[in-house]
Amino acid sequence: MTYPTEAHPLAQAFLEKARAAQEGGNEQMLEPARFRDLLDARALNNGLPVTPVASVVDVIARWDGREIPVRVYYPDISQPVAFSLYFHGGGFMVGNLETHDKICRFLASRAKVAIVAVDFRLSPEHVFPAAHDDCLAACLWILRHAEQHGLDARRFALAGESSGGHLALSTAYRLIEGNHPLPRTQLLLYPLVEMSTDSPAYRQFGSGYLLTEQRMRFYLDSYLAGADITDERLSLLRSPFLGRSSPTYVMTAGLDPTLSHAQMLVERLRQDGVAVTYDHFQGWPHGFLFWGHEAGAIKALEKASDALAAGLA
């Protein structure tokens, strides 16, 4: 299988600049803290607008002896409101509440739902299943304490981009496994579905398109630390709960090494009778949601927000 390789005109210049700077090359030689600072700074300096919301509240989710920072974005002052947890991307290694602030604001404002962003532990200091366990714990905590935070526990979603999309779906399956309340909908934005880099998209887009196979292997090796990648928490296509998924929105990027596995997920969900809405942004690479282009990030976030609003209506 081969994919179109032509970049959107607005993406082409950015890709050429990144290639000239050897994006994804020797950065992995840096110490993890320096590598994280470098990429977090790039994410903060993005082209998205700062969307106003009614209020932003930082709280601590305390669960099983752990303290997990979360940030709640309220779209208005009327309560209780439907909400979505949001798990940020960054290969389980980079990203935080600040790097994804603009995305969360956008989703909250347009979808008119509260966004609960989760600041889970990162690798290599904290390896699998640290991030997975933190996301589940934050979800269970907010469901238990939703009322006191002005949230409607009967109407919630799970959302995330890239590795955060993986954490959203993995959390959903662990909710099913534990007989916990289930999300009404799931929002997966160019999600990382499998821990393997063996796919047609990786072979086509594994270099020269921002997210390189080399960088992805660096991320995965750091977080997995030898874990079995066939574990059902990691290999989502192996999950026995695929057919019990909530209605799901999936967005993919055309020049993305994770594309093949994401499309396989869409196909499998549909085969299992799950309602799936699928948007594909041809000509854009993994990570384009941060760029702020009207034809790319803004359009994509509008579609994602509208899907989230419809799923929680």
Q: Which pair of tokens denotes residue 238?
A: 């192996």
Q: Which residues are catalytic?
A: 162, 256, 286
